[in-house]
Chains A and B, each alone.
Chain A
Amino acid sequence: MNTPIEDGNNNLRYAEYVLGVLDADTRAEVAHEVLVSGEAATAVALWQRRLMPLTDTIGEVTPAPYVWARIHDALQLDAPARVAPRKGLWDNLQLWHWLGIGASAVAVALLVVVSLPRPTTTPTVVNAGYMASTIQQDNGSTGWTATMDLQHARMVVVPATPVAFEQGRAPELWLIPAGGKPISVGMIARDKPTTLALDPALLAQLGPTAALAVSVEPIGGSPTGQPTGAVIAKGAIGAAPDAGGKVAMIGDRQTDRNRV
């Protein structure tokens, strides 16, 4: 092994890199060194071996099945997307696959999935707890689709057609209760799915009378807590207990609009 003098600051830097205490710039420097220097790579690998066993103490948490579906889509793998047994609508990988593709007919796809009779459970039980919304741009094309899982208090927003934003601007999603002020749900990505946690105050407002809207805001979100930029897309929310009917309504509306 190295003598204390040979250690110098270099070995410490590799240790600090693996521990994770370096700032972004120094991290990038060391990461580059690892790529170009065999010595650096070996030193870093040794530190990884020394410290990584600490992760043994971290409890395992099974990720939601749609994470694999997204990986599968991002890499365009051709093996079957399913790695876990099918459970409910939320865990339906085929649905996530469709959502990922972002066809403008997502509402129709949802309708099909939601209304398909299930051999093992009654549809009403399976469907309870989910809501969906097609967030359309003014030109009628779908900007995003949102699926809300009430039981797990989360929403996944999937872009259909990526919308262009000027630099320094990003989309922010709002929930607008009937006759109420917009409530920020969170910043969403323009080109990939975003998962948002729904706090109780938001959950309480979700329903067929509320709507979702997307406005153009600074990257960090609206500074005022209310939309400050143009509203570029809006969508009605389909309710949970009779999800089939409500989603169908969204689907119909979209069809009407397309006809116009």
Chain B
Amino acid sequence: MSVSSPAERDELNQLLQQTGRNDQKAFAELYKRTSSKLFGVCLRMLRDRGEAEEVLQETYTTVWRRAGSFDASRASAVTWLVTLSRNKAIDRLRQHREELLDDPSRLDETVDEQPTPAAGAETSQEYQRLQHCLDELEPQQQSSVREAFFTGATYNELATRCKVPLGTMKSWIRRSLMQLRTCLDQ
């Protein structure tokens, strides 16, 4: 699913709005065109196919019920959908938090992973802008923000993973967020 073209974005917005009016065909089409992206997000965060499938299912059943509240002036359909799937994935991670903390091997595999644009996939203008602003952060802070975003980890978990005090991690992330906002809102 490439969402870099404005036409594609409008089509998805429209499909989501139609879904909000209980249009089952639009909903099926929306699923067909967005589920691979959302499943990629769920898998990346949960690292377990079965769990990712369950979260994907929860996400789309919620989409069907809540699509009526989608406001295209506030967010694009893709942002709305990705946000929903991330929220569900994070909720799931919080439920399993103790198990994850008890399993160091599972934490190790996520540390210091530098995500790169998916092979052959075109990144959006928005991503390029964000990347530019991320590049202005200190390397360690940039990697903490990425780690947080892609793994849905709490401050505590991040501090443990990066072997820094909790206060240090909080100030890295908070400073980064404020710096990102200044850079992006210019």
Binding site for B on A (CB under 8 A): 1, 7, 12, 15-16, 18-24, 27, 31, 41-42, 45, 48-64, 67-68, 70-71, 74-75, 77-79, 83-84, 154, 194-197, 220
Let me know if B28 and A79 touch, CB within 8 A: yes
Residues of chain B in range 75-120 having any CB-CB distance to chain A below 8 Å: 75, 78-79, 82-83, 86-87, 90-91, 94-95, 97, 99, 115-119
Let me know if A68 and B116 touch, CB within 8 A: no
Tell me whether A21 and B148 are in contact in the complex, defined as CB-CB below 8 angstroms, given that A62-B36, A67-B35 are known contacts: yes
Would you give the 0/1 interface string for B139-150, flagging 1 where the beta carbon is closer than 8 Å to chain A? 000000110111
CB of B130 within 8 A of chain A?
yes
Binding site for A on B (CB under 8 A): 1, 24-25, 27-28, 31-32, 35-37, 39-41, 43-44, 48-50, 53-54, 56-57, 60-61, 64, 74-75, 78-79, 82-83, 86-87, 90-91, 94-95, 97, 99, 115-119, 121, 123-124, 126-127, 129-130, 145-146, 148-150, 152-156, 158, 173-174, 177-178, 180-181, 184-185
Tell me whether A68 and B154 are in contact in the complex, defined as CB-CB below 8 angstroms, given that A63-B56, A74-B61 are known contacts: no
Nearest A residue to B119 via CB reads: A59
Q: Chain B's nearest CB lies how many Å from the CB of A69? A: 10
Bound-state CA distance A18–B79 (Å) is 12
Residues of B within 8 A of A154 (CB): 49-50
* CB-contact partner of B177 in A12, A59, A77, A78, under 8 A: A12
Let me know if A50 and B40 touch, CB within 8 A: no
Let me know if B126 and A53 touch, CB within 8 A: yes
Let me know if B28 and A83 touch, CB within 8 A: yes
Tell me whether A24 and B94 are in contact in the complex, defined as CB-CB below 8 angstroms, given that A19-B148, A50-B181 are known contacts: yes
Bound-state CA distance A16–B178 (Å) is 11
Bound-state CA distance A219–B174 (Å) is 37
Bound-state CA distance A23–B86 (Å) is 15
Let me know if B121 and A62 touch, CB within 8 A: no
Bound-state CA distance A55–B39 (Å) is 11
Let me know if A21 and B158 touch, CB within 8 A: yes
Further contacts, 10 of them, CB under 8 A, given A58-B115, A67-B39, A71-B64 = A12-B178, A19-B149, A27-B91, A57-B118, A67-B56, A74-B61, A77-B27, A83-B28, A83-B31, A197-B49
Residues of B within 8 A of A75 (CB): 61, 64
Tell me whether A50 and B115 are in contact in the complex, defined as CB-CB below 8 angstroms, given that A19-B149, A45-B75, A55-B37 are known contacts: no
Residues of B within 8 A of A31 (CB): 87
* CB-contact partner of B150 in A27, A52, A54, under 8 A: A54
Residues of B within 8 A of A48 (CB): 75, 79, 83
The 23 listed contacts between A and B (C-beta, < 8 Å) are A15-B178, A16-B177, A19-B177, A20-B148, A21-B148, A23-B94, A23-B155, A27-B90, A45-B75, A51-B130, A52-B78, A52-B79, A52-B82, A53-B127, A56-B124, A57-B118, A57-B123, A57-B127, A58-B40, A59-B40, A61-B43, A63-B53, A196-B50
Bound-state CA distance A62–B121 (Å) is 15
Bound-state CA distance A64–B53 (Å) is 8
Let me know if B180 and A58 touch, CB within 8 A: no
Residues of B within 8 A of A55 (CB): 37, 40-41, 82, 86
